[in-house]
Amino acid sequence: MKDVTRIYIIRHGETDNNKLHRFIGSTDHPLNERGQAQAASLKAPFSKIHVDRIYASPLKRTMMTAEGVRADRDIPVIKVPGIREIECGQWEGLNRQEIEERWPGQIDLWQFHPAKLHMEGGETLAQVQRRAVEAFLDIVEKERGNSVAVVSHMLTIQLIMCGLLGIDIDEVWRMVQLENTSITSMDFYPDNTFEVVKWGEAGHLPVELTNASVKIAGFTKNEAPKYDVAVVEGKHDIAWKREGVL
């Protein structure tokens, strides 16, 4: 359909600190061996998909994952700082226990009331959402009628989706969580609507590269999501109001 913009948004592959539940928001760690294998598994599905351009967070783990999406084709990879992961400040490299010892009660805000959290020297989730949604919608507008891939980070992707769907930031962990290198397919229409065609598809991953439960820095997410696939998939109005637009 003319002017329909197809976006494939992909979470990066695994890093060592993902495996260890450490906070590595802006720390520029590469993919570990397992993460590289996850990224390589993207070549099969994306070799069959037309992609005009690839946009990626500038960190090593997303740029390495973007190479799997490129699938040996001559497709430009464009760095977009606005879709990088949260800046964790003094939490960078720490685990749940270490954070609780230094800042008692703060890790519980991260898990249960994330909208209220401001990490020491880092960003709030609202700040991340603002820059990430605006950068994402800039890509949508720039690529009107094209098909592009966007490689980013789990929390950043979740915050983008919360912004688009009008879900409160405090509910960010109550959405379906994303496997490493999962692919979410979305279509954007000129009438300010969009359709989530497929949320968090991970069928390209062999079973040995999947996780029994999604690991998030600070905790493991096991409970059933409030905003499951049935809620997220389908057509929606874009809830986000652009800066400077009445």
For residue 153, indicate whether it is catalytic: yes
Q: Are strands 183-188 and 193-201 parallel, antiparallel or unpaired?
A: antiparallel
Q: Which of 21, 29, 118, 153 is catalytic?
A: 153
Q: What is the mean pLDDT of residues 13-33?
A: 91
DSSP string spanning 36-85?
HHHHHTTHHHHTTS--SEEEE-SSHHHHHHHHHHHTTS---EEE-GGGSP
> What pLDDT is stored for residue 1 in this prediction?
57
Confidence class for position 138, pLDDT limits 50, 70, 90: very high
For residue 29, indicate whether it is catalytic: no
Distance CA 117, CA 90 (A): 13
Q: Which of 12, 21, 113, 204 is catalytic?
A: 12
Average pLDDT, the chain: 94
> What pLDDT is stored for residue 73 in this prediction?
95
What lies within 8 Å, CB to CB, of 129 at 6+ separation is 159, 160, 162, 163, 169
Q: What is the mean pLDDT of residues 139-144?
A: 97
91 exposure class (CB count in 10 Å sphere: 0-12, 13-18, 19+): buried
What lies within 8 Å, CB to CB, of 112 at 6+ separation is none
3-state secondary structure at position 1: coil
pLDDT single digits (tens) 44-94:
999 999 999 999 999 999 999 999 999 889 999 999 999 999 999 999 999
pTM over 0.85: yes
Q: What is the mean pLDDT of residues 198-209?
A: 96
3-state secondary structure at position 135: helix
pLDDT at 244 over 70: no
Domain boundaries, given as residue ranges, for the chain = 5-83+128-237
Confidence class for position 25, pLDDT limits 50, 70, 90: very high
> What pLDDT is stored for residue 222 in this prediction?
74
> What pLDDT is stored for residue 95 in this prediction?
93
- Assign domain 5-83+128-237 to a CATH class: alpha beta
pLDDT single digits (tens) 149-177:
999 999 999 999 999 999 999 999 999 88
Dihedral angle sign, alpha carbons of residues 134, 132, 9, 161? negative
